[in-house]
Structure 1
């Protein structure tokens, strides 16, 4: 059970995914700080005159903070755009280059493998009995003497 888990964790895809998530989370924090510090105040300036109601509208006693929602949408779009253009697009281009033929062709089997394959195929064609393979190859199994 633990070996399977270790194999799963040690795959390159899982490690790359974990690194991507950590970098994405850190980058999202930077973009969120930027939009909170610069863009949200601009949205609030455009939305109202007073600082208490800027970027909000009120219905009864309930305030709807639309500036925060617009800020979150901008944060998402900026994060997605930067991750696409700096991570996804370059990796897709690299994968395309690999597909175009930069991968080496598979190696031809060695002479020993070819010879063993021919022997196997010849034995299958002759439908040799299972023990006869050892006789053909000169292998003799030693039998234990009978016990009394």
Structure 2
């Protein structure tokens, strides 16, 4: 029982649960934003914001493709909102914060894997490399 208790209280699981709850709340916010502002704009431009009624009947079988069209439009709008209002500003902020930091890794000239700057040998391909703090010698 103590193993199960440790599993439940482990940091990763708690962080995942918090992220899930915040993500669900954010999804509701984005859906409401799309319903309140984006769908009416689409209705102004295209005439109808809801295409769920669109269907085609072939040999007596109804194919309601409008449900997919509406979902695809909602997904595209949601993805754009998340990208432009969350991902892009967060990326810019992280770049601004990391701008003054010195690099701690560099690429191995042989296998292009990230290795510490002062490394003398690549941990991935075991090639000998000149540490970045030294000047390379001519062969």
Q: What is the TM-score normalised by the length of structure 2?
A: 0.48
More strand by share: 2
**Rg (Cα) greater in structure:** 1
More helix by share: 1
Question: Looking at both structures, which has the greater relative contact order when contacts are Cα pairs under 8 Å and sequence separation is at least 6?
Answer: 1
Q: What is the TM-score normalised by the length of structure 1?
A: 0.46
